[in-house]
Homo-oligomer: A and B are copies of this chain.
Amino acid sequence: MDSNRKAAKTRERLLQAAIDVFSTEGVVGATTRQIARVANVNEVTLFRHFQSKEQLLAAATQHITAMQVESLDHLDEWTQDLSRDLLHYARLHNAMLEENEALIRMFIGEAKRHPDEALQVLQQAFLPLREKLTNYLRNGVERGNVRPDVDLFLAVDQLTGMLLAGMLRRHVMPVERGYRPDHYVESCVDLIVRGIGTASANPERLSPHPSSHPNS
Q: CB within 8 Å of B: which residues of A?
A: 24-26, 28-29, 102, 105-106, 108-113, 115, 118-119, 122-123, 147, 149, 151, 153-154, 157-158, 160-162, 164-166, 168-169, 171-174, 177-179, 183-184, 187-188, 190-192, 194-195, 208-209
Contact = CB atoms under 8 A, between A and B. Distances in A.
B112 A109 contact: no
A179 B106 CA distance: 27
A165 B173 contact: no
A3 B44 CA distance: 55
Copies in the assembly, this chain: 2
B169 A183 contact: no
A110 B109 contact: yes
A149 B113 contact: no
A135 B195 CA distance: 24
Given A153-B178, A165-B157, A169-B157, A109 B105 contact: yes
B151 A187 contact: yes
29 contacts: A26-B28, A26-B109, A29-B113, A102-B112, A105-B111, A108-B108, A109-B110, A111-B168, A118-B172, A122-B172, A123-B173, A147-B208, A149-B208, A151-B178, A153-B178, A153-B179, A154-B184, A154-B187, A157-B184, A158-B187, A161-B164, A161-B165, A161-B166, A164-B165, A190-B195, A191-B191, A191-B192, A191-B195, A194-B195
Q: Is the interface of A mostly helix, strand, loop or mixed?
A: helix
Contacts of A119: 172-174
Contacts of A108: 105, 108-109, 168
Contact of A161 (B161, B171, B179): B161
A108 B118 CA distance: 15
A111 B165 CA distance: 14
A157 B149 contact: no
A162 B158 contact: yes
Contacts of A172: 111, 115, 118-119, 122
